[in-house]
Amino acid sequence: MKIPINIPVIGKEEIKEVRSILTEKSLTTAANAGGKRVQEFENLLTSYTGSRYAIAVNSGTAALQAALYALDIKNGDEVLIPSFTFVATANAVVSVGAKPVFVDITPRNYTMDPEDLRKKITKKSKAIIPVHLYGNFAYMSEISELAKKHNLDVIEDAAQSLGTTYKNKQSGTFSRLGCFSMYAAKVVTAGEGGAIVTNEKGLFEKLRKIRNHGMLHGYDTQILGLNLRLPEISAAIAKVQMKKLPTLLKKREKNAKMLTELLDDLDIVLPTERLGVKVNWYLYTISTKNRDKLAKELNSKGIGATAYYSIPTHKTPFYNRKTNLPVTDWAASSVLSLPVHPLVTENNLHYISKIMHQAIRK
d(CA 155, CA 77) in angstroms, rounded, equals 15
Q: How confident is the model at residue 362 (pLDDT cuts 50, 70, 90)?
A: confident
245-360 CATH pick, 3.10.20.340, 3.90.1150.10, 3.30.300.10, 3.40.630.30? 3.90.1150.10
Buried b (16+ CB within 10 A) or exposed e, 332-352: bebbbbbbbbbebeeebbebb
pLDDT confidence of residue 33? 96
| Mean pLDDT (the chain, rounded) | 97
Q: Is the pLDDT of residue 279 over 80?
A: yes
In 11-108, alpha helices (H) = 12-24, 36-49, 60-70, 88-95
pLDDT confidence of residue 144? 98
Q: How confident is the model at residue 175 (pLDDT cuts 50, 70, 90)?
A: very high
12-240 CATH pick, 3.40.50.2000, 3.40.50.300, 3.30.70.3270, 3.40.640.10? 3.40.640.10
Domain ranges of the chain: 12-240, 245-360
pLDDT confidence of residue 1? 82
Record the pTM: 0.97
Query: Would you state the torsion angle of the CA atoms of residues 267, 269, 274, 275, taken in this order, to the nearest 10 degrees?
Result: 0
pLDDT confidence of residue 105? 98
Q: What is the pLDDT of residues 161-174, one digit of tens each?
A: 999 999 999 999 99
Mean pLDDT, residues 134-161 taken together: 98
User: Taking a C-beta distance cutoff of 8 angstroms, is the pair 211, 81 a contact?
Assistant: no
Domains 12-240 and 245-360 share a fold: no
3-state secondary structure at position 164: coil
3-state secondary structure at position 57: strand
User: Taking a C-beta distance cutoff of 8 angstroms, is the pair 196, 38 a contact?
Assistant: no
Mean pLDDT, residues 261-275 taken together: 97
Q: Is the pLDDT of residue 280 over 80?
A: yes
Q: What is the pLDDT of residues 2-22, one digit of tens each?
A: 999 999 999 999 999 999 999
User: Taking a C-beta distance cutoff of 8 angstroms, is the pair 342, 185 a contact?
Assistant: no
3-state secondary structure at position 268: coil
pLDDT confidence of residue 19? 96
Q: What is the pLDDT of residues 185-225, one digit of tens each?
A: 999 999 999 999 999 999 999 999 999 999 999 899 999 99
Q: What is the pLDDT of residues 285-335, one digit of tens each?
A: 999 999 999 999 999 999 999 999 999 999 999 999 999 999 999 999 999
Q: How confident is the model at residue 361 (pLDDT cuts 50, 70, 90)?
A: confident
d(CA 360, CA 214) in angstroms, rounded, equals 55
